[in-house]
């Protein structure tokens, strides 16, 4: 099939490359000409394992191409995916849909024969109705259908998630569309993916509800971890005991920092604003949002306690600053609260992240990015493990730090407290009793 992806950000680029790898002819569209030129040189603008090779191989095979010419992309495609950002409006829970509606208005100028318009961006209920209205002002209804096809891609594991999905959700008010979308996804369905057809509004809400539920699981276990710390209980025992119940499941029950990234923070807020629109009170989701924000502050206070209120002039190293491993995404990361706090308290801070230095920290004084673990850890009074990158899971801390009486605050519980105690290292973790 001939496909175009409008928006070559995370969702559009990963999905486009994967669709091409399934044998489709894919054209990724972006208004940023510099990005387009880089993509044509197989340089990905995002950090995602395996994506560079996927782009390179399919571009060379002429199944994948990139352009800033949206008119050409629309005219040459059978299926048009809208994959632009839907951020939260500043100072509110409202979703900024301006990019989605702008795309809808633009593509309406170029539709001359039948097209399937697919909303892959995460959007509130009734957004598909609005897209339909916008396009319908210039295009006959018989020449297009609007479909909701939410993505369920995890950063760091996006390619696998696309190729081996748990389910493919298609929302349409025209039942004839289901067969056409089933044909597009046939290679994945044959691998065992559940193909689920529903109304357009239902598909839009499935995405929001899914992300809100996962955010709730993370927040819940983090609150349980707080209880475990005061009660002298190991939160990992609780996670295993709960997760063994098939009704609950073990995933997303690892205590740690607040959830962050491009999805959970904005989608929980988006769901609340949607509920407000329909005069429905989502008190649980509101509590999750509040608890998650408090989590960021709570963990900074824990650092203060670990350091006996003596942070000024201390050498503190932060390992990992992205919101999770295997991505360069800094959106809503706990480090954006933690590091400025440490600097404000007078600490000398170094950080290391495998995905490289971050523009978010450029203006911070007393902060240095180190490209190697050895330089990052050398001379540290406190090492904070903020992100669970694989290279942080087996560090010989004494060899790298080269000083006595340093401390480790492991926010991801990567290490065994008993083993570090044997090595006479002062170790603190999340939701586990201090030894």
pLDDT in tens, 135-160: 999 999 999 999 999 999 999 999 99
Helix (H, G, I), strand (E, B) or coil at 47: coil
Query: Do residues 307 and 382 lie in contact, with contact meaning Cβ atoms separated by under 8 Å?
Result: yes
> pLDDT tens-digit profile of 50-78?
999 999 999 999 999 999 999 999 999 99
What is the Cα–Cα distance from 398 to 401, expressed in whole angstroms?
A: 5
CA–CA distance, 40 with 12 (Å, rounded to integer): 15
Q: Is the pLDDT of residue 42 over 90?
A: no
Task: Encode pLDDT of 189-218 as tens digits.
Answer: 999 999 999 999 999 999 999 999 999 999
Domains and CATH numbers, the chain: 2-158 (3.40.50.720), 205-435 (3.40.50.720)
Asked whether the predicted pLDDT for residue 188 surpasses 90, the reply is yes
Count of Cβ atoms closer than 10 Å to residue 421 Cβ: 13
What pLDDT, on a 0 to 100 scale, did the predictor assign at position 363? 87
Radius of gyration of the chain (CA): 24
Mean pLDDT across 408-415: 97
Range 316-339 average pLDDT: 96
pLDDT (0 to 100) of residue 364: 86
Structure tokens at 393: 């899971």
Place of tokens 């091409």: 20
Residue 435, pLDDT > 80, answer: no
pLDDT at residue 79, rounded to an integer: 98
Q: What are the structure tokens assigned to 197, written together?
A: 């057809």
| Contact yes or no for 398/407 (Cβ under 8 A) | no
User: Any idea which residues carry the catalytic annotation?
Assistant: 263
Question: What are 385's two structure tokens?
Answer: 């493990």
* Planar angle of CA 207, 213, 214, nearest 5 degrees: 95
Indicate the pLDDT class of residue 433, thresholds 50, 70 and 90: confident
Beta bridge pairs of residue 65: 27
DSSP class per residue in 289-317: HHHHHHHHHHHHHHHHHHTTT--TT-EEE
pTM metric for this prediction: 0.94
Token readout for 339 is 């590091």
Average pLDDT of the chain, as a whole number: 96
**Three-state secondary structure call for residue 250:** coil
CA distance 417 to 432: 9
CA angle centred on 400, ends 397 and 403, rounded to 5°: 85
- Judge whether 162 and 152 are in contact, CB under 8 Å: no
Sign of the C-alpha dihedral computed for residues 158, 325, 413 and 227 taken in this order:
negative
* pLDDT at 39 exceeding the cut of 90: yes
β-pairing verdict for 2-6 and 194-198: unpaired
Closest by Cα among 44, 56, 7, 83 to 328? 44
CA distance 132 to 172: 12
CA 35 to chain centre: 21
């Amino acid at each position: 099939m001939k496909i175009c992806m409008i928006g070559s950000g995370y969702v559009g680029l990963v999905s486009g490359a994967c669709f091409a790898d399934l044998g489709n002819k894919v054209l990724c569209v972006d208004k940023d000409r510099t990005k387009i030129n880089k993509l044509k040189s197989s340089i990905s603008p995002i950090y995602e394992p395996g994506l560079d090779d996927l782009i390179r191989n399919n571009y060379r095979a002429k199944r994948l191409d990139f352009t800033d010419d949206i008119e050409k992309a629309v005219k040459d495609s059978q299926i048009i995916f809208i994959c632009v950002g839907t951020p939260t409006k500043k100072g509110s829970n409202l979703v900024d849909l301006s990019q989605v509606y702008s795309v809808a208005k633009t593509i309406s100028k170029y539709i001359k024969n039948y097209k399937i318009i697919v909303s892959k961006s995460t959007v509130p209920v009734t957004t598909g109705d609005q897209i339909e209205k916008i396009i319908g002002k210039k295009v006959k209804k018989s020449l297009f259908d609007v479909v909701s096809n939410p993505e369920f891609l995890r950063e760091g594991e996006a390619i696998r998630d696309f190729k081996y999905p748990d389910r493919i959700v298609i929302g349409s008010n025209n039942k004839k569309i289901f067969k056409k979308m089933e044909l597009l996804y046939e290679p994945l369905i044959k691998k065992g993916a559940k193909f689920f057809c529903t109304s357009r509004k239902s598909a839009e809400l499935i995405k929001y509800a899914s992300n809100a539920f996962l955010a709730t699981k993370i927040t819940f276990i983090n609150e349980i971890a707080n209880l475990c710390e005061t009660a002298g209980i190991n939160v990992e025992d609780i996670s295993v005991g709960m997760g063994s119940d098939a009704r609950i499941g073990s995933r997303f029950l690892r205590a740690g920092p607040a959830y962050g990234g491009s999805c959970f923070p904005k989608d929980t807020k988006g769901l609340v604003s949607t509920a407000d629109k329909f005069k429905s009170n989502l008190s649980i989701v509101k509590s999750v949002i509040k608890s998650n924000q408090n989590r960021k502050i709570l963990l900074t206070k824990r650092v203060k306690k670990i350091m006996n209120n003596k942070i000024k002039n201390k050498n503190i190293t932060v390992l990992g600053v992205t919101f999770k491993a295997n991505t360069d995404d800094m959106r809503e990361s706990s480090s954006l609260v933690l590091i400025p706090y440490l600097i404000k308290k007078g600490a000398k801070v170094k950080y290391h992240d495998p995905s490289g230095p971050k523009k978010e920290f450029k203006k911070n004084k007393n902060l240095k990015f180190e490209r190697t673990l050895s330089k990052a850890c050398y001379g540290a009074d406190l090492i904070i493990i903020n992100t669970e990158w694989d290279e942080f899971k087996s560090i010989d801390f004494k060899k790298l730090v080269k000083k006595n009486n340093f401390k480790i605050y492991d926010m991801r519980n990567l290490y065994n407290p008993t083993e570090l105690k044997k090595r006479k290292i002062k170790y603190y973790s999340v939701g586990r009793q201090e030894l």
